[in-house]
Amino acid sequence: MPVLRRLLRILVLTVASLVGFVPGHSIAAETLRVLAWPGYADEDFVRRFEERTGARVEVTFVGMDDALWDKISAPGERPFDVFAVNTAELQRYIDAGLVQAIDPAGIPNVKRQLPQFQARDRIPGLLREGRLFAIPYAYAEMGLIYDRRTVTSPPDSISALWDPRYRGRVLAYDGGTHNFSLAAMRLGKPSPFRYRAGDWAEAAEQLIALRRNVLTFYSLPEESVELFRDNGVSILFANYGTQQLQLLRAAGADVGYVIPREGALAWLDCWAVTTAAKSPVLAMKWISFMLEPEVSHALTTRHGLNNTLQAPADEGAASGKLVWLEPVEDSSRRADLWHRIISGERAVGLK
C-alpha cells in the first residue's frame, strides 16, 4: 500500500545514504555541475572523472539553445559550473557577463587539439578583447550530400542547389538564418552573417529561386532521410552534417559528402565556465578531461560529431573550408522573410 511503500522507500534511501556516507566519498564534498548537450557527457566518462578527482559531478542535459540560456542566465541556488555552447550563442553570454575568461594554461589537453583549434584567435567569437572565453570541443559542418548514382561528378559549389538539372530533386533545410547565409555565400558576399542594406532583395530572389528548384525543405534529420529515399533526391543540404550522412548510409543510400568551395557553415560547440562557478579549477579539469583522446574520440564514434583532436575521416569533409557560425545581423528579419518565401510568395516586396 502506498504508505507502507513510501515508508519502505524512505527506509531504503536512509540506509543507502548512510552506506554511501563512507569516508572516501565524504572528503571530496566538491560538486561540479555540468550543463551539456546529449552525447557530451556520457555516464562512463563522468564516472571516470569522479573517480579520478574525487569530486561529484551532476550532469544536466539540454536540447535547445533557449533552454540553455534560461538555465545559465537564471542560475538560482545551485548554479552550473561549466556548460557547452556554440560560438554564435556564446556571444550573448559574454555580453551578459555570465561566463568568465579562461587561461588555457589551466587546460593541459588543449595541446592535443588540431592546429586550427589551437589557433583560437582565428575562430570568431572565442575571444573578446584578447581574453579567451571558451574552449572548442565538438563541431559539425553543413556540407552537401549527393546521390552517387544520379550525380556523376561531385558538386563543388553551393550553386548545385540551384542547378536546374536537379530541379525537384534537391532537399534544402527549412531555416531562415542558415538559408540567408547560404544565399550570401552563393552571391560571394564578404560575410554570410552580416547583410548590408542592399543585399536583402537580391538574397530573397535567390531563395525564391531555390524554393522553385527544390523538392521541399526538411526540418529533422530523419525526415530528410525519408524524403531522400522516397523521392529520388539527388542533392541534399546537410544541415546536420556527417550525422545525417551516417543516417542516410544506415538507410542504405549510396551517398557522397562534399564541402563546397565556398565553404561549409559549421557550428562549433565549446566548453565555457560560468562566472557563478563555485570551483573554476575543477571546471578547467573537466574541460581538460573532455579533451582526452578517448573522451573526445567518442564524440565521433558514438555520436557522429567531429571532435577537435582528429581530422574528419570522410573523404569530402577532410579538406574543406569551414565557416564558423556567428550571430547574424538580424535573425528575426531573416526568419520573417524566410517564412514569407517558404509560404510561396511570388515576390517578396522589400522597402
Judged by CB under 8 A, the residue of 163, 292, 326, 345 near another protein is 345
Enclosing H/E stretch for 112: none
Q: How many residues does the chain have?
A: 351
Question: Judged by CB under 8 A, which of 14, 60, 159, 219 binds another protein?
Answer: 219
- Three-state SS at 337: helix
Told to check if 340 binds another protein by CB under 8 A, we report: yes
> Based on CB atoms, which residue is closest to another protein, 207 or 317?
207
Identify the H or E element spanning 147.
strand 144-147
| 350 near another protein (CB under 8 A) | no
Smallest gap from residue 232 Cβ to another protein (A): 11
Tell me which residues in 150-179 interact with another protein (CB under 8 A).
Answer: 168
CA dihedral for 186, 190, 195, 199, sign (positive or negative): negative
CB 294 within 8 A of CB 52: no
Choose between 67 and 350: whose C-beta lies nearer to another protein.
67
Closest distance of CB 345 from another protein, Å: 6
Minimum distance between the CB of residue 42 and another protein, rounded to whole angstroms? Answer: 18
Min separation Cβ 115 and another protein, Å = 33
344 binds another protein (CB under 8 A): yes
**Shortest Cβ distance from residue 312 to another protein (Å)?**
25
Give the interface segment with another protein, choosing from 149-157, 212-220, 244-252, 279-287 (CB under 8 A).
212-220
3-state secondary structure 55-79: CEEEEEECCCHHHHHHHHHCCCCCC
Q: Distance (Å, rounded) from C-alpha 87 to C-alpha 325?
A: 7
User: Which of helix, strand or coil describes residue 222?
Assistant: helix
Interface residue with another protein among 118, 150, 216, 300 (CB under 8 A) is 216
SS3 content of the chain, % helix, strand, coil (to 5): 45, 20, 40
Kindly indicate which of the ranges 7-15, 53-61, 210-218, 238-246 contains the residues binding another protein, using the contact rule CB under 8 A: 210-218
End-to-end CA distance of the chain, in Å? 70
CA dist 54 → 20, 21, 47, 213, 350 (Å): 14, 14, 10, 58, 60
One residue of 58, 70, 103, 222 binding another protein per CB under 8 A: 222
- Contact flag: residue 58 with another protein (CB under 8 A): no
| Residue 231 binding another protein, by CB under 8 A | yes
CA atoms within 13 A of residue 216's CA, in its CB half-sphere: 12
Question: Which cell goes with 263?
Answer: 565553404
Q: Using the rule CB under 8 A, is 342 a contact of another protein? A: yes
Query: Which of 65, 329 has the CB closer to another protein?
Result: 65
197 binding another protein? (CB under 8 A): no
Burial class (CB in 10 A: 0-12, 13-18, 19+), 43: exposed
| Interface stretch with another protein, choices 42-50, 135-143, 289-297, 334-342 (CB under 8 A) | 334-342
Judged by beta carbon, residue 111 or residue 346, the one nearer another protein is: 346
| Nearest alpha-carbon partner for 147 in 305, 223, 221, 258 | 258
Pick the closest to residue 271 from 102, 123, 157, 151 (CA basis): 102
63 binds another protein (CB under 8 A): yes
Residues 71 to 110 in contact with another protein, rule: CB under 8 A: none
Binding residues for another protein, rule: CB under 8 A, are 1-2, 63-65, 67, 168, 211-212, 214-217, 219-220, 222-223, 231, 339-340, 342-347
